[in-house]
A and B are shown apart, each in its own frame.
Chain A
Amino acid sequence: MTGNGMGVALRNVSCVFGRTPAVRGIDLEVARGEFLALVGPSGAGKTTLLRIIAGLQPGYEGSVRIGVRDVTRVPARDRNIGFAFQNYALFPHMNVAANVAFGLTVRPRATRPGRGEIRDRVEALLQLVQVGDLAGRYPSQLSGGQRQRVSLARALATEPELLLLDEPFGALDPLVRKEIRAWLRGLHNRLGLTSILVTHDQEEALEVADRIAVLRDGRIEQIGTPAMLEDAPASPFVHRFLGETVSLPGCIVGGAIRLGGAWEGTGIVPPRVSAPDGPVLLMARPHTIGLLPASGHAPAAEVAGVSRRGAFLRYRVAPAGYPPESGIEIHVPADRPSIPVGRACRLDFSRAHMFPDRATSSVSDAPGLVTA
């Protein structure tokens, strides 16, 4: 244990497939004991980045450091990294115990533990992942959740300092997924691992990770704790990626916001955050927008429809005189007094975020807006 500092450090890492860059100049530091999630849409480069750290991706630039070791030129087999694959990649011709023992039995004779010791280690690992009674089974005889546990036991058998997880829950059904990711987080804490998780499921990342790196087109768009990303998303992309997003175009004139398009002139409670004059995108989550009684003379918004979904009432609110389809969705806890359809209201955007709307201000660096 040298210092309690660095788990993984990437310096200016790039990787090009043919002519398309998959990862571009990424700097990333993961503290020892930290659980980091790499999220992003498919093609954002998150799996490539994970494979670069693992050493499975040939032909990258930049440097990779694990703990105190510079492993940039170290082949994958010598990096001592535990890797959990998307589809588990268990060896189908070996039973569970042989799968878990594999990393120990392939060691050169000098460093290989004795048979008895391997047997004990395997047994302890299977207990740890709570499948102690499955040692004699074959992968084909296991459920998805059991396979995932066995693949984790196998990855942990060589006592790696770093655990890499590539979409480990993707193939599990939702109930098992929730259970196993809570369990995995517990395991990470208990073993004092450093873990990096790749997922396209932002909810999973928000729940399990200490920090989240949102990737886009091979770059890190934003990195921070789940709370930081929720409270201060750096871009419309991050906002959209992290959850259901209501987005309205507007303009800041003299420090005050004016909505545009169909919402032109609609009176709202403005966001607490400010932005420089110019076109902006007003973004909020359906549950952070408030519905207030209409006041004053400004054109109001109108409740166009409502439906109950679980603990929330889902209101569809459209600019007065517009059809429901041009409206937005607002979620209000179902225990609040309900508002009848047709009632005029004022929208409370005080918890919303604002981003300069580059798509309309300048064409040159507009990355193309992703619609959620």
Chain B
Amino acid sequence: MTTTTRITPAGWLLTAAAWLAVALMLILPVGVLFGQALREGLQAALATLSDPDSLAAIRLSLLVTAIVLPVNAACGFLAAFALTRFDFPGRALLLVLIELPLSVSPVVAGLVWVLLFGRHGWFGPWLTAHGIRLVFTLPGILLATLFVTFPYVTRTVMPAMEARGRAQEEAATMLGAGFLPILFRVTLPEAGAALLSGTLLCAARALGEFGAVSVASGHVPGLTETVPLRIQALYDGYETTAAFTLAALLAIASGLLVGVRGVMEWRRGGTGSARVDAT
């Protein structure tokens, strides 16, 4: 335990201010959340979870996250790979486009999906004619969530890959490795930690996404209601305990994901990702 820098009074002040902000904006609300959920006791809180619509919402949220994660991990990694390893026309534009979901309001994103694929949307008539329904169904929710969570993996993996440069891949090339062995034995393992970190962020976002899903899902209880939508429905129906219990559950899940990621980042300091021993 060695501290190399001495903390000045100004430093103390800033640190205290940071903690105060965190306490006010994060710890206090979470405390209130759990207080509200447990107001009638743990039993009562847990009992609200056995409501079939809430259970369906939890199942749906988990299903959506389970599908979105691998898709985004794979696409995000490949996008980061292409963007850092190749110079191609339109690269800068692609970078901006990948970040678009971070800056566009999710509600707008959801609306765009409805406008494109809804019954009166551009592709609506064609989709209806072929018996495909995207909006207000699981695929619609998936599309909305994919869109909103897409940047996370790419944006976490890219800096890591950029910092490493191309030398290791070139070394592998000189040793006779082709594209796929390099991808799977060099690039992927070395981006592993960043990839996992980005995927966890993506998971937290996917579980909690409200806006885009809200527009694209149609709020059908038991069918297209994810946990955040269910929470709002419960709250609007004055089922306070149930709403706060579900919210607390969601907060715990997100907290765990972010916590795992934090521990990983902290441990990553030294040697990096998964290790491969000798043959």
Binding site for B on A (CB under 8 A): 54, 56, 76-83, 85-87, 89-95, 97-98, 101-103, 105-107, 115, 118-119, 122, 135-136, 138, 140, 151, 154-155, 157-158
Contact = CB atoms under 8 A, between A and B. Distances in A.
B155 to A, nearest CB: 22
**8 residue pairs, one from A and one from B, having the closest CB atoms:** A97-B278, A103-B175, A89-B167, A89-B171, A83-B174, A106-B177, A93-B189, A140-B271
Contact of B174 (A87, A107, A115, A155): A155
Contact of A91 (B186, B270, B277, B278): B186
A98 B277 contact: yes
Residue of B171, B189, B190, B192 most packed against chain A (CB within 10 A): B171
Contacts of B278: 95, 97-98, 101, 119, 122, 135-136
A106 B181 contact: yes
A115 B278 CA distance: 10
B175 A85 contact: no
Given A83-B171, A106-B185, A94 B176 contact: no
B172 A93 contact: no
Interface in B234-279: 270-279
Interface size class of B (residues with CB under 8 A): 20 to 34
A340 B171 CA distance: 58
A80 B177 CA distance: 11
B267 to A, nearest CB: 13
Interface string B121-156: 000000000000000000000000000000000000
A98 B279 contact: yes
Contacts of B192: 93
B168 interface: yes
A157 B173 CA distance: 14
A165 to B, nearest CB: 12
Contact of A105 (B171, B174, B186, B279): B279
A92 B174 contact: no
A115 B167 contact: no
Contacts of A107: 176
Contacts of A89: 167-168, 170-171
B272 A106 contact: no
Given A56-B173, A83-B170, A106-B172, 20 more contacts: A56-B174, A76-B174, A77-B176, A79-B174, A82-B174, A83-B171, A83-B174, A85-B170, A89-B168, A90-B168, A91-B186, A93-B273, A94-B275, A95-B276, A95-B278, A98-B277, A103-B177, A119-B279, A154-B171, A158-B176
Nearest to A115: B279
A87 B170 CA distance: 12
Given A95-B276, A95-B277, A98-B277, A106 B189 contact: no
B31 interface: no
Give the interface centre of B272, B274, B276 by most chain A CB atoms within 10 Å.
Answer: B276
Interface of B: 167-168, 170-178, 181, 185-186, 189-190, 192, 270-279
B184 to A, nearest CB: 10
Contact of A81 (B174, B181, B272): B174
22 contacts: A77-B174, A80-B176, A83-B170, A83-B171, A89-B167, A89-B171, A91-B172, A92-B272, A93-B275, A94-B277, A98-B276, A98-B277, A98-B279, A101-B278, A101-B279, A102-B172, A103-B176, A103-B177, A106-B177, A136-B278, A140-B272, A155-B174
Contacts of A103: 175-177
A155 B175 CA distance: 7
A93 B175 contact: no
B191 to A, nearest CB: 10
A119 B270 CA distance: 28
A66 to B, nearest CB: 13
A95 B272 CA distance: 13
B279 A118 contact: yes
B274 A93 contact: yes
Nearest to B193: A93
B170 A78 contact: no
A77 B171 contact: no
A358 B65 CA distance: 73
Contacts of B185: 102, 106
A87 B271 CA distance: 16
Contacts of A138: 271, 275
B168 A91 contact: yes
A95 B178 CA distance: 21
Nearest to B171: A89
B175 A157 contact: yes
- With a 10 A CB-CB cut-off, give which of B168, B189, B190, B279 has the most chain A CB atoms: B279
A107 B177 CA distance: 7
A139 B198 CA distance: 25
B196 to A, nearest CB: 13
Contacts of B173: 56, 76-77
A138 B170 CA distance: 20
A158 B271 contact: no
Nearest to B164: A92
A56 B170 contact: yes
A100 B174 CA distance: 13
Contacts of B175: 77, 102-103, 106, 154-155, 157-158
Contact of B272 (A85, A93, A105): A93
A115 B279 CA distance: 7
A102 B178 CA distance: 12
A91 B164 CA distance: 11
A148 B84 CA distance: 26
B275 A95 contact: yes
A46 B251 CA distance: 57
